[in-house]
Amino acid sequence: MPDVLAASDDPVFGLHRVLDDACHATRDVGLDDDALLRMYRELRRLRLLDEKMLLVQRQGRIGFYGEVKGQEATPIATAFALDRDDWIFPGLREGAAMLVRGFPLATYLAQCWGNALDVQKGRQMPSHFSGRAANQVSWSSCIGPQVPQAVGAAMAMRARRAGSIAVGFCGDGATSEPDVHNALTFAARFKAPVVLVCQNNHWAISVPCRAQTAAPTFASKAVAYGIPGVRVDGNDALAVYEVIREAAARARRGDGPTFIESVTYRMGAHSSSDDPTRYRSNDEVAYWAQRDPVERFRRFMAARGLVTEASDAALLEELAAEIQSAIAEAERHGPPNRDGLFEDVYAELPWNLREQRDALRAAEPAKSH
């Protein structure tokens, strides 16, 4: 197998890296030790969170879960690279960006139960994390729409002179959807203050990324849209941080969008409903396990003297306790208020919905309030 993560300077055909093969940083990306430790903690937390939540799903306590395993660097480094007021439009695997912004873990996890603690009031499938308090919009389950949504939001913010930008994510599979093409055309033509990121994790469920396009790389598509494209090592959190920061600064300056291909690998299954052993080889998985983004960052931190075996063990213990208590808190809530079915669409309920709401209240008075 050719080395997919070999460093190269060409922006759209090469690969932008900061960590070298020995996991040393080839330059300073402007994060101090405190920020690096926080970034490491977030990477570790997300890896452990997935592990624990998958067990929760297997125990039948939630119906579905979408793991991020192997792709943690992109959502975490993106959140570090953005301003707090910027809007995030995640796809399936970037929802945890909002945790970096301090969104409470139990409330975040309650989304998977769709219960009374869930800010979405139980209206979404599990693993569709969002929160107005964190400026993060839920993805739509359909593949692709979050990209035009990010472009529209970015243009709206410019019209309001808000000074913020938007970041929209999609997968390699989503690039075959018309929504992504429409969004890129529009964003480029109107210089929308947006950053668009394609996480090329090499698979769209069981379809390999090479089956999605005849283009040699996803980043190279940017050339035809007339905007800069960057192909970055998505398993190198420092490289992702650097390119997102630069693209965000460009968008904020009014110079328009950037299309970023983050080259990574989905180490786990597509979701808790998938069995990847039916369509991909163990050799491929082993190749990428050697390039695990969390392990590479740990090695970088250890070489810098910021992480030791003892500090790592203590961190894992602390994170396990934090996650366990957040899961217990999330799970303890009852179902959402049934009246919520009629809220948040109409300022004033039309007569037919009023009738339905009243009928529901009359049928189950104890549960509807």
- Verify binding: residue 96, ligand TPP, rule CB under 6 A: no
Cβ-based nearer residue to ligand TPP, 92 or 243: 92
- Verify binding: residue 204, ligand TPP, rule CB under 6 A: yes
Q: 236 to each of 77, 81, 182, 264, 337, how far by Cα in Å?
A: 9, 14, 30, 9, 43
- Verify binding: residue 172, Mg ion, rule CB under 5 A: yes
State the number of binding residues for ligand TPP (CB under 6 A).
Answer: 17
- Verify binding: residue 158, ligand TPP, rule CB under 6 A: no
Label residue 164 exposed, middle or buried (CB < 10 Å: 0-12, 13-18, 19+): buried
Q: Which of 24, 58, 189, 279 is catalytic?
A: 279
What b-and-e string marks burial along 234-265, b requiring 16 or more CB atoms within 10 Å of the CB? bbbbbbbbbbbbbbbebbeeeebbbbbbbbbb
Site for ligand TPP in 35-94 (CB under 6 A): 91-93
Contact in structure between 157 and 166 (CB atoms under 8 Å): yes
Residue 339, SS3 per DSSP = helix
Contact in structure between 89 and 149 (CB atoms under 8 Å): yes
Cross-strand pairs, 229: 259
Min separation Cβ 249 and ligand TPP, Å: 27
How far, in Å, CA of 257 to CA of 80, rounded? Answer: 19
Q: Rounded to the nearest 10 degrees, how much is the dihedral formed by the CA atoms of 238, 242, 243, 245?
A: 130
- Verify binding: residue 111, ligand TPP, rule CB under 6 A: no
Query: Which residue lies nearest Mg ion, judged by its C-beta?
Result: 171
User: Is residue 270 annotated as part of the catalytic site, yes or no?
Assistant: yes
Q: Which of the listed partners (ligand TPP, Mg ion, none) does 138 bind, with a CB threshold of 5 to 8 Å by partner kind?
A: none
Site pattern 259..278 for ligand TPP (x: CB under 6 A): -------x---x--------
- Verify binding: residue 171, Mg ion, rule CB under 5 A: yes
Site for ligand TPP in 227-266 (CB under 6 A): 266
Min separation Cβ 278 and Mg ion, Å: 17
Selected binder of ligand TPP within 4, 48, 205, 315 (CB under 6 A): 205
Cα distance between the two ends of the chain: 60
Q: Which of 16, 45, 250, 266 is catalytic?
A: 266
User: Is residue 65 annotated as part of the catalytic site, yes or no?
Assistant: no
Name the segment binding ligand TPP (CB under 6 A); options: 18-26, 137-145, 253-261, 336-344.
Answer: 137-145
Phi, psi of 177 (to 5 degrees): -90, 140
Q: Which two tokens stand for residue 54?
A: 């998958």
Min separation Cβ 237 and Mg ion, Å: 19
Total residue count of the chain as it appears in this document? 369
Q: Could you tell me how many helices (H) and strands (E) the chain has, helices first? A: 12, 7
How far, in Å, CA of 309 to CA of 245, rounded? Answer: 31
- Verify binding: residue 175, Mg ion, rule CB under 5 A: no
Q: Which of the listed partners (ligand TPP, Mg ion, none) does 128 bind, with a CB threshold of 5 to 8 Å by partner kind?
A: none
User: Is residue 266 annotated as part of the catalytic site, yes or no?
Assistant: yes
Min separation Cβ 143 and ligand TPP, Å: 4
Site for ligand TPP in 171-190 (CB under 6 A): 171-174
Residue in 63, 48, 140, 159 with CA at minimum distance from that of residue 96: 48
Q: Which of the listed partners (ligand TPP, Mg ion, none) does 245 bind, with a CB threshold of 5 to 8 Å by partner kind?
A: none
Min separation Cβ 172 and Mg ion, Å: 4
Q: Which of the listed partners (Mg ion, ligand TPP, none) does 134 bind, with a CB threshold of 5 to 8 Å by partner kind?
A: none
Cross-strand pairs, 232: 16, 262
Q: Which of 47, 270, 296, 298 is catalytic?
A: 270
Contact in structure between 91 and 71 (CB atoms under 8 Å): no
List the alpha helices (DSSP H) in the chain: 33-58, 73-81, 97-100, 105-113, 146-159, 178-189, 221-225, 237-253, 282-289, 293-303, 309-331, 351-363
The site for Mg ion (CB under 5 A) is made up of 171-173, 201, 204
The site for ligand TPP (CB under 6 A) is made up of 91-93, 141-143, 170-174, 201, 203-205, 266, 270
- Which positions are catalytic? 266, 270, 279
